[in-house]
Amino acid sequence: MTLAFLRLAPPEVSMKTTSHSCSANWRDLATSLRFSVSLLVLLVALGLFLAVSALAQSAEPKWQPQAGEHIARTRDGESISAGIPSEELTGSAVAQPVMAPTRSSFLASWKYASEARGYRLDVSVSRSFESYVSGYRDLDVGNVTSRIVSGLAPGKSYYYRVRAYNLLGIGSSSETLTTATATSSGLVIDPTFDSSILDNPRSATIQTSITQTIALYQSLFSDPITVSILFRFAATLPNGTPFPAGEIARSNFVVYPITWSSYLSSLRSDATTADDASANSSLPPNALSSNIVPSSASGRAIGLSTPKAMFANGTVAVGGPYDGIVTLNSSQPFRFSRPPTTTEFDARRATEHEMDEILGLGSHLNSTPSTSDLRPQDLFTWAASGNRNTTAIGSRYLSVDSGNSNIVNLNQGPGGDFGDWLSGVCPQVHPRVQNAFGCKGQVSDVAVSSPEGINLDIIGYDLAPPGPTPVPVPATFGNISTRLRVETGDDVLIGGFIVTGTQPKKIIARAIGPSLPVTGKLLDPFLELHGPSGDLIASNDNWRSDQEAEIRATGIPPANDSESAIVMTLDPDSYTAIVKGAQGGSGVALVEVYDLDSSVDSKLANISTRGLVQNDDNVLIGGFIVVGTEPAQTLLRAIGPSLPLSGALADPTLELHDKDGTTIASNDNWRSDQEADIIATGISPKKNAESAILVALAPDSYTAIVRGKDNTKGLALVEVYELDN
């Protein structure tokens, strides 16, 4: 800044002293007045300069942003093999994340459309979409079935719709869905996915995994701040250099050196929990370092002015749009759906670890360049009761009560991050999120009572108050489906179900073929719905030919016009849905029944499907979803020899899989296992060669598969009984 000073001419002073005339007196008076005025102008100018200088200084950032970094490694000596990641579920099979709306964001989600290459999203405050939320008009979100919509106003209703597209063009708009942002405050994590995720063949699964992780953090903390994170799945770091050997993931983030007194004053003012009070009482009376260095996110969590300042290449400067960057190393074997195999790393655990670093965990012992200024976590590390330790020498652990209790030991080995937890050999007894070394095949999450949750709490994040105790909801089946190759004659697809209770139940039945992502699919399915006495009560060939508006209103119309659907309200009783080829055709098809009204006391139960079991993909596959909050005591049966039909499957086998495809249980001959318990149900199979599994299932989606032992073929029946009815 250059300064311009007012230069005053010296006053004219008469040197004559022997004679004084009137004019001379007036001249002297004028000269004196000019001097006084000039002096006044000088003083005013100086005052203005000082005021402007003070204002300019106050407008500049009080603290300057710097770059921080964290590296996640594998255990020394463990080989990490690069290669093609294992195949994961995609498309409609990807589990939808669950995320409660925050005051400025919500999760938009929609059904998978067969053959879609991606979706375009519209968001509006108007049901008629007369205007659009900034940035959410015809937004290409890629081939995913959910998207976090952020930057919204609290306590406001929003409407959204999507259009699927592929190489042939863009489809029509979906039904309009609505939600409302919360009025209460809460943490918002605003994700950005770079091209390494958007262009990845597993993009849908990767984005779903990250969204589920974000939902977890937003449910845990109530701080009224928004944290912006760029997510990457790449073999290079944000600056383009390759990942060094042995590294699983890395986070880059913004930090600010804050004076000791300013930071501790804000931290003490932010205390909300018992752990906060205890931890703050253990703070030293005198400064341990000149500054404390929080991340930009954790600084804002306690009310400091620490704005985001990171750019996509990892550089830090005023105006950067991110608080940090999470990069998972794509050359390593990550699994984005749980559980991982013993040869894969759990992607959610790694993502949570790096998000913790951006939120503010970590030690000054890893700072580059090295500094004596402590990180917030270092304020609460101890070697023994009353003996603080912020060095890499000796033992060090996290404590909220002056070292009297040890929450978790900290890593002191130079091969790992000094801000992470001490971790043993793989597999670890305690595979915590912040362990210094990751292990394949193990999972963990941040929780209120986990060391990570406690650490985030005492450095300033406000744990969300617990919600009301949920009222237990009895388990029931939310929808049922069976996939099979449909032939002609008796070898069509026959699905049976029972509506129990006292009130009518509204359902939708669907026959899906052309939109199935399999070869040999049934191109034109025809659906029949039969009543308790076998009488035909409804049928449909192409769903848009009848009940189109009502079917669309369910939110789950078939994706292809040649597929079939029926919406009906059924009295409690037994029913049968039959899928055939419309013109006598054959191929793989799916029959589904969805419960459209959970408000009545009736529910779907005791489902069964009969069909011709063949080999490979043409086995009998039955899917069902358990809804509610309580486990469902469930009996599954695979029936063949006792069917009164020619060509019955002589020796069926039965497998039960969870939503990730993991085998929960299997059985060949039912008397070989659980015989007494199965007999006690009163519905044990009639033939010893038939199969059965008795299991309590938590609310989730499941799949039962019937095969012929030794690849034999024949007609079989898969049945699922909910025994709590």
For residue 110, give the CATH number of its domain. 2.60.40.10
Is residue 151 domain-resident? yes
Percentage of the chain modeled with pLDDT above 70: 85
Q: What is the predicted pLDDT for the residue at 240?
A: 96
Assess whether 715 and 630 both reside in one domain: yes
Is residue 424 domain-resident? yes
Half-sphere exposure at residue 278, Cβ-oriented, CA atoms within 13 angstroms? 14
- Mean per-residue pLDDT, 84-102: 48
Which of 325-329, 601-605, 698-702: highest mean pLDDT?
325-329
Q: Strand, coil or helix: what is 359?
A: helix
Query: 308 falls in which pLDDT band (50, 70, 90)?
Result: very high
Is residue 35 domain-resident? no
Span 184-222, pLDDT tens digits: 778 999 999 999 998 888 887 888 889 889 989 998 999
Is residue 467 domain-resident? no
Is residue 248 within 8 Å of residue 73, measured between CB atoms?
Answer: yes
Query: 478 falls in which pLDDT band (50, 70, 90)?
Result: low
Query: 34 falls in which pLDDT band (50, 70, 90)?
Result: low
Nearest to 497 by CA among 449, 532, 544, 456: 532
Which tokens sit at 54? 């003070």
- Mean per-residue pLDDT, 460-481: 71
Assess whether 430 and 492 both reside in one domain: no
* CATH number, position 613: 2.60.120.380
Is the pLDDT at 437 greater than 90, yes or no?
A: yes
Is the pLDDT at 270 greater than 90, yes or no?
A: yes
Assess whether 619 and 665 both reside in one domain: yes
Is the pLDDT at 112 greater than 50, yes or no?
A: yes
Q: What is the predicted pLDDT for the residue at 251?
A: 97
Is residue 282 domain-resident? yes
Is residue 476 within 8 Å of residue 605, measured between CB atoms?
Answer: yes
Backbone angles phi, psi at 270, to 5 degrees: -90, 0
Sequence-distant (≥ 6) Cβ neighbours of residue 77 within 8 angstroms: none
Assess whether 706 and 558 both reside in one domain: yes
Q: Is 275 left (phi over 0), alpha (psi -120 to 50) or beta?
A: alpha
Calculated CA dihedral for residues 330, 331, 336, 342, nearest 10 degrees? -160
Strand partners, 527: 540, 579
- Report the number of distinct structural domains present in the chain: 3
- Mean per-residue pLDDT, 713-717: 89
Assess whether 532 and 570 both reside in one domain: yes
Query: 305 falls in which pLDDT band (50, 70, 90)?
Result: very high
Mean model confidence pLDDT for the chain:
83
Neighbours of 93 (CB within 10 A): 18
Span 594-614, pLDDT tens digits: 888 777 778 777 678 787 888
Question: Could you give the CA distance from residue 438 to residue 435 in angstroms, rounded to a whole number?
Answer: 7
Q: What is the predicted pLDDT for the residue at 76?
A: 42
Domain extent, residue 245, equals 91-100+185-458
Is residue 62 domain-resident? no
Query: 486 falls in which pLDDT band (50, 70, 90)?
Result: confident
Q: What is the predicted pLDDT for the residue at 255?
A: 97
Is the pLDDT at 44 greater than 70, yes or no?
A: no
Residue where a domain terminates, one of 133, 152, 181: 181
- Mean per-residue pLDDT, 428-451: 92
Q: What is the predicted pLDDT for the residue at 139?
A: 92
Assess whether 259 and 276 both reside in one domain: yes
Is residue 326 within 8 Å of residue 230, measured between CB atoms?
Answer: yes
Is residue 269 within 8 Å of residue 303, measured between CB atoms?
Answer: yes
Assess whether 421 and 436 both reside in one domain: yes
Assess whether 215 and 345 both reside in one domain: yes
Distance from the first to the final alpha carbon of the chain: 81
Span 616-659, pLDDT tens digits: 777 888 878 787 777 888 899 999 999 888 889 999 999 998 87
Residue where a domain terminates, one of 119, 149, 181: 181
Percentage of the chain modeled with pLDDT above 90: 47
Assess whether 295 and 323 both reside in one domain: yes
Is residue 31 domain-resident? no
Span 669-683, pLDDT tens digits: 999 989 999 999 888
Assess whether 504 and 595 both reside in one domain: yes
Is residue 19 domain-resident? no
Residue where a domain terminates, one of 425, 458, 491: 458
Is the pLDDT at 93 greater than 90, yes or no?
A: no
Is residue 691 within 8 Å of residue 669, measured between CB atoms?
Answer: yes
* 64 or 457, greater pLDDT: 457
Nearest to 261 by CA among 281, 291, 284: 291
Assess whether 407 and 508 both reside in one domain: no
| Letter string b/e over residues 373-396, b meaning 16 or more CB atoms within 10 A of that residue's CB | bbbbbbbbbbbeeeebbbeeeeeb
Assess whether 107 and 166 both reside in one domain: yes
Whose tokens are 């029926």? That residue is: 566
